Every structure is written in C-alpha cells, then in structure tokens.
Amino acid sequence: MTETKQITLHRPDDWHVHLRDGQMMQAVLPFTAKQFGRAIVMPNLADPVATSQQAVAYRERIYATLPEGVKFEPLMTAYLTDNTDAKDLAAGFKHGVFCAAKLYPAGATTNSASGVTDIEKLSAVLECMEDIGMPLLVHGEVTDPDIDLFDREHVFIDRVMKPTLNRHQGLKVVFEHITTSAAVDFVRSQGPRIGATITAHHLMINRTDIFKGGIRPHLYCLPVAKREQHRLALREAATSGESQFFLGTDTAPHAISAKEAACGCAGIFTAPAAVELYAQVFDEEHALDKFEAFASLNGPKFYGLAPNAETITLIREAWVVPDSVAVGDGTLVLPFKAGETLNWRLSD
Ligand code: DOR
Ligand code: ZN
C-alpha cells in the first residue's frame, strides 16, 4: 500500500476551546484561528460569561484580538448557574449570540465555583432549551468528594446524565471531552440527539503517562486521563466515522507557573498543534479516510450548520512543536508535546 502523503479536507471546527481573555487570549487565539473555521468558546472566564450581554462583549473582545485577515467565527456559550434566566438564554439563542449553554457542576473544574449545585435547579431552564432546540454542553463529572477521581465520569452517567435525558426527551446534549469506554457506550446507546467531543490528548495519553518517571503536571487535566483500555475505546470511537463523535480539543492554557505548582491547575494546551495531533492519531489507526468526518463534518451536522466551505491541507512532514508560547505579561505556556516531533503539518 502506498503511503498517503497529504490530505485535503473541509476546514475543521473546534467544538470545545478555552480562549481565555486579555493577554492570554492574545497569545493563544492565533493558533486556534489559524486551523479552525469556528470554535465553541467555553464561558469559564474568571468572571463567567453567564448573560447574553456578557457574551456579546466577550465575542467583541475575541474579534478585536483576531490577527489581521484571519477568518474565524467564535460560537459563544452561556455559563449555567443556579440563577440562570431562561428568558435571557432564549433571547440570546434566538438572536445568534449563544450557540449552546454549558453545564459545569459547581466545583468540578477551573472557574466552576458559580456552576450548578444541583441539576434539579435547572429544570425550567432545560425545558426551555429543549423547546427552542438549544444544545446543552456537559462537563460530565460528579463532584462528590467520596467518589474516586477516576470514577467521576462513569458515576455521572448514572447519577446525572441518564435522569436528565429521561426527563428531557427532546434535549440535545453534548457529552464533552469523554474519557471512558462507559461514556462511548452510553453515547452510542442514546442515538443522534447526543454527541460527544473527544480531545487529542485523551486519544494520546493514559493515566500512567501522567506519572512517567515523575509527576507530569502538564498532562493533568479534567476529566483526568484514564486507563489504557479507555484510551483505546476513545480511539475506536473517534476513528469510527460515526456522526455522534466529533473534534473538541479542550485546549486549556495555563501559565507554566500555575501548572508547576504544589497545587497545579488542570488543563492541557493543545492549540499549537491541534489538527496535526489528531491527524497523527488517525494515521496511526489507519483511519485517515475517517478524519474529515470527525474533524469537519460531524460537529456541524450535530449543531445544524453547514461544513466550512474552505479546505485545509495536511502534509506528511516532520516538524517540532514549539518549546513554549510567550504571553505578553512575561509568562509562558507549555504546549502539549512541546519540543517533540510530529509527522503531519498543516500547509500554509
Ligand atoms: O482540564 C481542564 N481545564 N478541564 C476543564 O474542564 C477546564 C479547563 C480549564 O478551563 O482550564
Ligand atoms: Zn474545557
């Protein structure tokens, strides 16, 4: 069999990204905007994006930060709280401000303190979202301190996801950054009203990698990577071509000083090589023919959007991921696979 030397596909979208704000956004946004046509922008800023007014202002800051001549569309999300105003949410959705709403169980992850304390409190909001066809994006981990960290996604399926889907039979849901074979099986069992994003890092590392030769803070994220059998299940799902699974990097930059600390932040910064990392996985799985579905077609289909009209080309060519990315305030961010060689490169 001859080796594929290059592939051309509809420009992909990133269905889960943390663009942050201010100087951090200035440093990281160009990487996402260079590769992706659109991105679902997470609302977990230090001051969460909870209202349509806040989303409009944040979207303006994103557009103002985009490098000259770069075409990129941020798709905004609402940060759900115990006090979310369903009317504001619905108006934001109707007027194209919000594309979806994000459920962070309170305390589950970075900047989730104002998240939802009990999903029951969201009943009216979810009913409204169901009525208007607004997707719910879910950080699927329980926050119960008695549940082992590595079991929190699996337990969430039974305790929260199933009852919520049962109660809201028409609600569209994205199970974000899935990390377990249980989540893969569950998503498949539910049919097309539920989708799932899969990150590049969860396709590449397992929980043992986080402790290889010592503790590796830059491989710590939430949900945390699981056992090898789960990584393999994610690879199988992503490369299956099935329309429920699509690309969402969950690129989550933190200053090196915040990662390499006694209590380091969760988040892996994959944006500098996102498309290339995924391409490598699909190549390793002999599934490059399924890459376009995962990266460029399944996501838009779920969200009821057309695929991007433009294309990108990836070339089989070695390049080295940058050692670090500088933020204007003098801090540095470390990319996933920093200093390592990848064998697919995005053509300019
Ligand atoms: O690892 C993570 N980092 N997981 C999340 O859910 C949030 C994210 C962040 O914002 O840093
Ligand atoms: Zn995230």
- Residue ranges and CATH numbers for the domains of the chain are 11-309 (3.20.20.140)
Distance 248 CA to ligand 1 centre (A): 13
Residues 228-232 have a mean pLDDT of 98
Ligand nearest to the CA of 140: 1
Contacts of residue 301, Cβ cutoff 8 Å, sequence gap at least 6: 243
| Statement: residue 69 has pLDDT above 90 | yes
Mutational pocket test of ligand 1: of 138, 156, 265, 268, the residue with most ligand atoms within 8 Å of the beta carbon: 265
Active-site positions read 250
Residues 240-249 have a mean pLDDT of 98
Is the Cβ–Cβ distance between 324 and 259 less than 8 Å? no
Q: In this structure, which residue's CA is closest to atom 10 in ligand 1?
A: 110
Is the Cβ–Cβ distance between 201 and 336 less than 8 Å? yes
| Statement: residue 68 has pLDDT above 70 | yes
Ligand nearest to the CA of 77: 2
Of the listed ranges 1-10, 122-131, 339-348, the least confidently predicted one is: 1-10
Q: In this structure, which residue's CA is closest to atom 2 in ligand 1?
A: 267
Ligand nearest to the CA of 201: 1
Q: For residue 190, what pLDDT is reported?
A: 96
Distance 153 CA to ligand 1 centre (A): 14
Mutational pocket test of ligand 1: of 42, 77, 222, the residue with most ligand atoms within 8 Å of the beta carbon: 222
Closest by CA to 242, choosing from 324, 315, 185, 313, is: 185
Is the Cβ–Cβ distance between 323 and 19 less than 8 Å? no
pLDDT tens digits, 301-311: 999 999 999 99
Burial 189-221 (b: 16+ CB within 10 A, else e): ebeeebbbbbbbbbbbbbbeebeeeeeebbbbb
In ligand 1, the atom with minimum distance to the C-alpha of 253 is 11
Mutational pocket test of ligand 1: of 110, 219, 268, the residue with most ligand atoms within 8 Å of the beta carbon: 110
Confidence of residue 105 (pLDDT cuts 50, 70, 90): very high
Of the listed ranges 108-117, 216-225, 254-263, the least confidently predicted one is: 108-117
Q: In this structure, which residue's CA is closest to atom 3 in ligand 1?
A: 267
Which residues line the pocket of ligand 1, CB cutoff 6 A? Answer: 18, 44, 109-110, 139, 221-222, 252, 266-267
Residues 213-235 have a mean pLDDT of 98
Confidence of residue 164 (pLDDT cuts 50, 70, 90): very high
Distance 104 CA to ligand 2 centre (A): 10
CA distances from 27 to 46, 147, 220, 283, 298 (A): 17, 37, 21, 29, 29
Distance 32 CA to ligand 2 centre (A): 14
Distance 111 CA to ligand 2 centre (A): 11
Q: For residue 1, what pLDDT is reported?
A: 62
CA distances from 325 to 17, 27, 39, 348 (A): 17, 7, 21, 20
In ligand 1, the atom with minimum distance to the C-alpha of 268 is 1
Calpha distance 293→242 (Å, rounded): 8
Q: For residue 63, what pLDDT is reported?
A: 98
